[in-house]
Each structure stands twice: as structure tokens, then as C-alpha cells.
Structure 1
Amino acid sequence: MESEAKKSSGKHKWRKVAYGGMQPGYDDNYTDDSFLEGMVMNANVVKRDLFKVMLDSVSISQYLCIAALVVIVWIQTLHSVIDEISLLSLDAGLLGLGFLIILLTTSQLSFHLFLHYLMKISFFISGLYILAPVYHTLTRSISSDSIWALSVSLLLIHLFLHDFSGYTIRPPGAKNNPTLASNISLNASIIASVLIASRLPSRLHVFALMLFSLQVFLFAPLVTFCIKKYSFWLHLWFSFILMSMTLSIIFVMHRMLFVLLLALIVFISIVCPYWLIQIQEYKFEINGPWDEAKLCFEITE
């Protein structure tokens, strides 16, 4: 008994340390009552507001309408409803409108940077015009059914991986580059555009459609990002006008597609935010001394 008392009295007090090896007299997995004093429940759980979540979901519905407009132009061009001259005029109008919006909404865009972007776009358009004959004959040996199946699959991949709150081209003043998923999404949309353009009758058709598709998939996220950063309410008005225009065009073309798109927009903008708010009450998070250490600074090098 005396030896046990001496042994217990000479025992060191247990300390809560991350490193330093095993403490004498204690097992490696030993903890006392003080270990759970630092436990915090639901420390990082954000309580979301239904109206704010619905407003944030407008960006998804907006881009779905943009993708629907691209598909409409594809179909109308394949059916010779839109000729190459009209498509080139549409390309020029979209390019000028996009530059105007960026100039009006971005304060850090200088004249020198504007000329730099203009030169890059000139090289881009020239290269696209040179490669138009290659795109025109690229899928000559592939059936149209396979082309449409691949195009639909690639467009779904594009929508699934697209960064709806970000951009595909880094805007002036932004610190972060586009994400990997965003780049994969952009590549999927470009391949789908090439497949569709290869079924057109002339090289000028191919060039006009490729230019239109790349303008929308490459520059439209940048334009919408600049609008949203400049004014959130302007972003909402722009989105509602775009959605109304898309729905009216599809209503004239096909009533069933109009119902499907309208149901999808309602599902994304109303039903999904409601579900997100409802499942928040089941979220349970425990934080404590067992969590991994997190850096409190950014590594820039």
C-alpha cells in the first residue's frame, strides 16, 4: 500500500499537448475530464436566410437561360433559319455590348489594358478564322446522332462543373484564377461547339457559330461577374430580363420545352433554397482540440 501511494504521489500531472511523446505514467490515448472543456458544438454553422438563398440562386437560373439561348441559336443555324451574315452581326453586337458593360462596371480597366485585351481578341478571332476549314471537315465521318449525343453530354458536363458564382477569365483586379472545374467546364463547351459547327454547310457558317459560342461561354461569365460585382440589384434586373426573354422565345418555339425550362427555374430558385433551409436544422458539427490545425494566413509563394 505504501509503495502504491508513493508511486501515485510521484506521478506527473497529465498535460494536454500535441507533441512531446508519451507522458510518464499515462497511456498514449489517455485523457482526463479537462480534455472536453474545449469542445464547441456548431461553431461554424451558418444560419441561412431563405430570401438571400433565393437571390443567390438567380445566378444559376441566369446561366441556364444563357445556355438555352446558345442551344436555340445552334438549332436555328443548323436549320438555316439564321444565315451567316445575321450570325456575324450578332457576334459583333455581342462583342461590342460585352466590352461596353465591362468598361462601365470595372473601374480598374485602364485604356492600356483595354488595348491589350483588344489585341488578344484580334489574335483569337484571326486564329479561329484560320482554323474554320479544319473544324468544317473534322467530324465528316461521324453520324449526326453521335454528334448530338456527344454535344448534349458535353453541355451537361459544362453545366454541372460550371462555376456559377465565378468567372472563366480573370477580371481586372481579381487575385484568384478560375478553378480547375471551371476550366474543364469551359473545355467541354468548346468541344460541344466544335461538334455542332462541323455540321454546318460552309466555312463562314462554322466561323460565325464558333465565334458566337466562344463569346458566350468564354466572355458571358466575365460580363455577368462584373455586373454582379458592380451592383447586385443591377445583376438581378439583368437576370430577370434575360430569363423573361429566354422563356418568351422558347414559348414561341415549343410549348413543352417552355414548361420544362420554367419548372427547372422554379425548382432551382424556390424549391432548392427551401430544402436547404429545412435541412439546416439537422446539421450537427463538433469542434475541439482533436481538430487539425488550420493556417491563419495565406501562402502566396
Structure 2
Amino acid sequence: MERRPVKPWRKNLYENSEYEDNYTDPSFLQELKTNRNLQTYTFLEAFLGSTHVSQQISVVTTFLVIFHYLYTNAASPQNILLKAILGTIVGYIVYSWRNFRPGQTIEDSKTAVAVLVFGYIFSPLLYTLTDSISTDTIFSTTFFALLLHLIFFDYGVPAAIVSRAISLNAAIFGAICLASRLSSSFHAFVLLEVAAAYFALGPILLAKIFNIPLVMLMVAVCCYFLLNISLTIFWTYICLLVFVNLFCPLLFVTLQRHKHNIHGPWDEAVVVDCAQDDDNGEKQEVS
């Protein structure tokens, strides 16, 4: 029998019945593209991006410094609470300076008062919530909770791992654990209010006023207090900042030249809606 000529292969499933299911035409790989839309970064750009992480590490460090002063009774809780309230008011003024609305300010003031009142009412309960757990376990749990806070924190980069809810809940959970080690329920109330200001309101303000001098000031404040607390913790903090701000950006910039992503017709199809004009000049949706 005479063999029929095979029709040219086309990238349409219903037109290739004469070919084997596993047939691959040479033209199939012509659409292969590598590193499409690849964006490379300089060391300076990577360094500036890593300062967001250093800033949040400094925020967590200052919170732990406040806990240390409450834990050792080196500072009165009334003084810390007063400074926290003043700092919150100043931060709110800076945040809403250009978009000041009296009605919104009144509502925010009501919310702040409600948080203070309910925090004061429930602080005795939260103070005894983990009373039966050993101090070593509490400190270890707090470490992992604050580590989760730093991992899931929103640093301004869209990523699947970012979760503001997990980050905030982990920080508040760590604060509740630490509050149970303080000497009174009022100390616990002050620490929880500081945690609310640092981890709930602080990121909103810092995202708006972020700048390198502010990060340097926060690092300097942390260094000053850590030197007075422990030289070992001070050097641990410095080594952590060096790792985040120097080693990680350098490693990222060095390895980005090895990035090799391939794109082609085997990628998952994406439906794109666009509008086209028909003969009557009306818009039609085409997928």
C-alpha cells in the first residue's frame, strides 16, 4: 500500500493524530527562553534591602531590652509606660501629619483607650497564664516565637512566606510568655502594651518613614543598652547585623549570575482577557 505523506506537525493537539503521542518536533524548542525578565541587583541595592531586616532585628532587640529592665526592676514600669504612650502619640502625629482628619483621630483615640483598658483588665489573667511552666522553657519558646516573627515579617518584598498575621501573633505570643516572668501584673500590662506598640503599630510607621539614618540610630541605641547589659549579647548582636547586612548581600550578588530559569511552551497556559473591536465598533472580550 502506498503510504500517505505525513502532514507537518503543528502545536495543536487535534491536528497531530498521525504522530506518536511522545513525538517532539524540532521547532518545539525554538520558543525556549532562559532568564526571561531577569532582574539583577548590585551590592548596594542588596545592602539597602537587607537594612529592612536589620531594622526589625533592632526593634525586637529593644523590646527584649525593655523586658530585661522590667525583669530586673532596673526601671519602673510607670516610667516605661509613660514613655511608650508619649512615643505612640509622637509616632501617630508623624504618621498622620499630611492626612490629618479630626474624625479619624477621635476614632483612633477611642481604640487606643479601649486597648489600654482591656489590656489592664486582662493583664492579671495573662500574667498567670504560663505560671506553671519553667522559666527556661518560657525563654526558649519566646526565642522561637520571635524568630517566627522575623521570618514571616513583611519587609516590603512580595513573597509567599510573608504573613503579617503569623508575624504579629508570634510576637504577641512571645510577649505573653515573657510577661509571666515579671514580678507583678502591672509589669505584665506594661510589657504587653509596649509589645502592641512595637509589633502592631510600629511596622506601619516604620514602613512610611524608613531611611538609613533612622536604622543607624536604632542600631546605636541597641548597642548602647546591650553594652550595659552583657558584652556577649552585644557581640552576638553585632555579628548578626554583619551577617545580615554584609555576608548575605555579598552572597546573593555573587550567586545571582548562576540563576538559570527556562521558559517555553510547556509552561502552564495563562488566560489573558483583552478587548477587541468588532465590525460595529463595540468592545468584545476575547480570552
Q: How many angstroms apart in 2 are the aligned matches of 1:247 and 1:141?
A: 34
Corresponding position: 1:274 with 2:273 = no
Q: Which residue of 2 aligns with 1:123?
A: 114
Measured after TM superposition, the shift of residue 108 of structure 1 is: 4.8
Corresponding position: 1:134 with 2:125 = yes
Percent identity reads 25
* Cα pair 2:127 2:179 within 8 Å, conserved: yes
* Cα pair 2:153 2:162 within 8 Å, conserved: no
Q: How many angstroms apart in 2 are the aligned matches of 1:94 and 1:179?
A: 31
Moved over 3 A (4+): 107-111, 294-297
- Relative to structure 1, the CA distance from residue 241 to residue 295 in structure 2 (aligned partners, 3 Å threshold; closer, same or farther) is farther
Corresponding position: 1:64 with 2:57 = yes
Corresponding residue SS for 2:96: helix
Structure 1, unaligned stretches of length 5 or more?
A: 167-175, 229-234
* Cα pair 1:12 1:24 within 8 Å, conserved: no
The Cα offsets for residues 57-93 of structure 1, whole Å up to 9 and x where unpaired, read as 1111111111111111101101111112112112212
TM-score by length of 1: 0.83
Q: Which residue of 2 aligns with 1:3?
A: 2
Q: Which residue of 2 aligns with 1:292?
A: 268
Aligned mate of 1:29, from 8, 22, 34: 22
Measured after TM superposition, the shift of residue 119 of structure 1 is: 2.2
Q: Which residue of 2 aligns with 1:15?
A: 10
TM-score by length of 2: 0.87
- Relative to structure 1, the CA distance from residue 274 to residue 294 in structure 2 (aligned partners, 3 Å threshold; closer, same or farther) is farther
Corresponding position: 1:81 with 2:63 = no
Measured after TM superposition, the shift of residue 264 of structure 1 is: 1.2
Q: How many angstroms apart in 2 are the aligned matches of 1:142 and 1:32?
A: 67
Q: How many angstroms apart in 2 are the aligned matches of 1:295 and 1:258?
A: 54
Q: How many angstroms apart in 2 are the aligned matches of 1:204 and 1:285?
A: 56
Query: After superposition, where does 1:36-51 map in structure 2 within 5 Å?
Result: 36-51=29-44
Q: Which residue of 2 aligns with 1:145?
A: 136
Corresponding position: 1:187 with 2:153 = no
Q: How many angstroms apart in 1 are the aligned matches of 2:47 and 2:113?
A: 39
Measured after TM superposition, the shift of residue 207 of structure 1 is: 1.2
Structure 2, unaligned stretches of length 5 or more?
A: 274-287
Measured after TM superposition, the shift of residue 179 of structure 1 is: 7.8
- Name the Cα RMSD after superposition: 2.2
